[in-house]
Structure 1
Amino acid sequence: MLAAVFLAYDYSHELARRIDIKRVALEEEAKTLFPAVIRLSGRGPESVQDFIDEEAAESPLYRAPLGNAELVVGAYASEGTTVYVSESLENLRRSATGDTMRRLVGFLFMATVAAAVVNMVLFRVVSRPLQVLVGTVKKIGEGDFRLQSDSFRTNELGYLADEINSMSQSLAASEKTRLLQMAQAREIQRNLLPNGVEPDGFEVAQLFEPAEDVGGDFFDILMLCDRSWLVCVADVSGHGIPAAMNAAMLKTLVMQAAKTLVSPSQILQEANQQFTSMSLEGDFATVFMLRIDPCAGRFSYASAGHDPGWLLTEGTNLKQLPSTGLILGIDEDVTWEEPTGEFAAGDRMLIATDGVCETSDSSGRLFGRDRIGELLAHYRDAPADGVINLLNQALNEHRGAARQTDDVTALLIERNPGSNC
C-alpha cells in the first residue's frame, strides 16, 4: 500500500518537474526562433497563430489542448509579436513513467538486497541462537537437567540463556530430591514385605518388581490366631505412588482383619468393607488369599478377581485355582466362596499378579498364562528359588527392549518333603 502511494506521488512529482523543465526549454527555444518568425510572419498560416493566441496564452500551466492531445507550450513575446513552441505532453508522461519505473525497480532491488542482508544477520544473530536454545529446552524437557546452554553475543539472548541454565539447575535439584524421596519410598515399601517369613515346613520363593520406583503389588505372610498361616498376594489398580499408598492401606486392613479371623473369605469381606469406604472411586484391587494348615496338610483360599493360582501336585499334574468372587473396592457387601484342597509334601503353588502373564514384548505379544504352567511343569525338580529366577529370566527375555508397564509379583510356595507339625 505504501509502495503504491509512493509510486503515485513520485510519478506526479516527476511529471510536474519535467513539465516545468520542458516549459523553460521551450521558452528558450521560442526566444531563439523569434527573429526568424518575425521575418517570415507573412508566410505562415495565421489560423495556427490565432489558435495559439487564444488557447495557449491563457493557460497558467503552459499546457494547451489540441484535439485529443495535450501540449506543453513555451512562449516568447516582444514588440507585439508572440512566438509559441510546443511539445506533446504524452512524450513527457512516457519519459516520467519510464524513470519512475526504473527507480521502482532499483528500489525493489535494493529492498530485496537489504532484506536478504537483514535476514542473514537475523539468522546469524537471532534465529540460529534461538534454534540452539529451543533444542536445549527440549532436551531439558526430556530429563537432561545437566545440560547448560552456551552464552551468546547479544544481551537479550545471553539473558535468556542464563535463565534457561538457572531453570535447568533448579530442575536438577528438584529431580535429585525427588529421586531421593522415591528411593526412600521404595525401601519403605520393600520393608513392608515379609523378609524370610515362611510357614512351618514350607519354602517360599518370591519375585517382586514394580514397574516404577514403587507399585501397587504387595504380598504378605502372616500367622493366624489358630497357628495356621495366611498368604496374601494383592494387585491394586494403577502404578506409582497412588497405587503404593492404596496397597499400604489394604495391607493394613488385611493385617487388622487377620488378628481375629482365620477364614480367607471372611478376611476378604472385612478388608473389602473398609477398603471400599476409604478408597477413591475407581480404585480397586485383586487379592488371592491362601490359608495353609501345616499340621493337616490342607489349604483353603478365596480369590477376589485375581489371576488364577497354579497347584503343581505329584509329578507334573497342574491345576488352576480360579477366582471365587468380585474384586475389592466395588461392593461393600460382596462375599466369596472358599474352596479347599490338600497340600501334600512336595506340592507347589504359584500365586502371581497379572503383570506376569501380561508382560509384553515390543510388538505387544503377551507372555501368557500357558507359559507359566509350562515353566512350572518343566522345572518340576528345580529348587523353588531357582524356578522363580527362571521365571524372571523368561519374562525379561520375552520383554526384550520393551518397557515394563505393570508391576510383577510372584510367590512360589512348596511344602517340604517329610514336613509335619
Structure 2
Amino acid sequence: MIKINKFEIENVKRVKAVKIEPTANGLTILGGKNNQGKTSILDAIAWGLGGNKHKPSESTREGSVVPPYLNITLSNGLVVERKGKNSDLKVIDPNGEKAGQQLLNSFVEELAIDLPKFMNATGKEKADILLRIIGVGEQLHQLEREEQEFYNQRRTIGQIADQKSKFAKEQPYYPDAPKEPISASDLINEQQAILAKNGENQRKRQQLAGIQSQYAAKGQEIEQLKQRLQQAEAEYAELGNDLEIAQKNTLDLQDESTEELQTNIQQIDEINRKVRANLDKDKAEEDANNYRAQYDKLSGDIEKVRKQKTDLLTNANLPLEGLSIEGGDLIYKGQKWDNMSGSDQLKVSTAIVRKLKPDCGFILLDKLEQMDLESLEEFGKWLEKEGLQAIATRVSTGGECSILIEDGYVAGQEQVQTPQQQASETKTWKAGEF
C-alpha cells in the first residue's frame, strides 16, 4: 500500500510553512487551537494528490505574494509537487520520469482525501458503495425486491385471513340444522309419496276385510247349503290361499307419519336461514384456513429469500469483519451507522475506502475533537494493526496530538526567512526536520 512519507507546504490558506513526516502506520494527529492552519494542511494534501477539483477557492495565504508550494513524497518513491504562479503539477517517479494526475488517480482513492463525503452520505448511499465494492449489489437488490413483494403479498393475505376469521366468529351456528337448504316442493313430493303409500296400505286392508267377509259368508253358506258343500269347500280352499297371501302382504305394513314433514314445510324459511348461516360460517372458516396456508407459505418464501441474502453477504469478501448490510442499511457489530461509536464509524469508513483502492494506504481526517481519548487510542491501534496511515486534525493541545500547529507553523520548528520570502517581505518558517 502507498502512504505519505513526508510533505512540505507553504502559503496555502492559513499555512505559512510546515514540513511533516507522518507516522507510517497508525494515527498522526495535527493539534492546535482554532484557526491555526490544521485543516489547511489537509486541504493542501488533498489538492496536491487529488487534483485541481480539490483546490481551495482561496488557495494562496492571505497577505502573501509568494504562490503556494506543495511537495509530497510517497512511499512508492513518487514526488508530487505544485509550485509557481499557476501551481502547476509535477509528478516524478523514482526513475526520474515525469507523470501527471492520471498516475495519481490510479491509486489515490477519492474518499481517502475526502472522507466526510462518505461519512456524511445517507445510509443507503453507504450501503450501495459497499455493495459495489464486493460486487453483489444487483443480486442483493433483486433479493430485496423479491422479499418486499412476498412481504406485501403476505400482509394482504394475512389481512384477508383475519377478516375471514372475524366474519366466521361473528356468524351464528345451528348444530340442529341440515347441511343443505331444503326445498318446499321436495318436502311436498315426499309427503305425497308417503300419502300414496299409505293409501295403498289402506286399499290392502280393505281388500283383507272383503276377503274375510266373503270367507265368513261362504262358511255360513256351507252350513246352510250342505248340498253345495263340495263346491263351497273348493271356493273356501281358494279363498284360504288368498287369505294367506293377503295376510303375508299386510304383516309388516307400518304407516309413516307426515307430521315432521308438515312441520318442516311450515318452518322451511327458518330452517333454510339456519342452513345458510351455517354454510356462510363454514365457508368463512375454510377461506380463513386457505389464506392462513397462503400466509404461511409466503412466510417460508420470505425466510428463504432472507437466507439467500445472508448467504450472499456471508460469502462476500467484505472489507471488515462484522460488517454487513440489512434492509439497505450499513451494519457493523449489529449496529446501524447512527448507533455506532465514533471509532467504529471511522473503522468502517477507512476499511471501505481501502477496499475501493487497495493500493491507497492513507486517509485524511478533519475535526476529530468530538472523539474521546479512549476512542482515539482504539482507532489508532486498529490503524496500526491494519497497516494503515491516517493524518487527522483535532482542536486540542493535549498529549494525544502528534504535532501542534501554531499560526501556520509546526510548533518548535526553526523559523527562517528564505531569500524569496525576504524579498516579498512575507515571513514564513523554513521547513525543518520533524
Which is helix-richer, 1 or 2?
Answer: 2
Shorter chain as denominator, the TM-score bin is under 0.3
Report the TM-score, using the length of structure 2 for normalisation: 0.22
User: Which of the pair has the greater relative contact order for Cα pairs under 8 Å at 6+ separation?
Assistant: 2
Report the TM-score, using the length of structure 1 for normalisation: 0.23
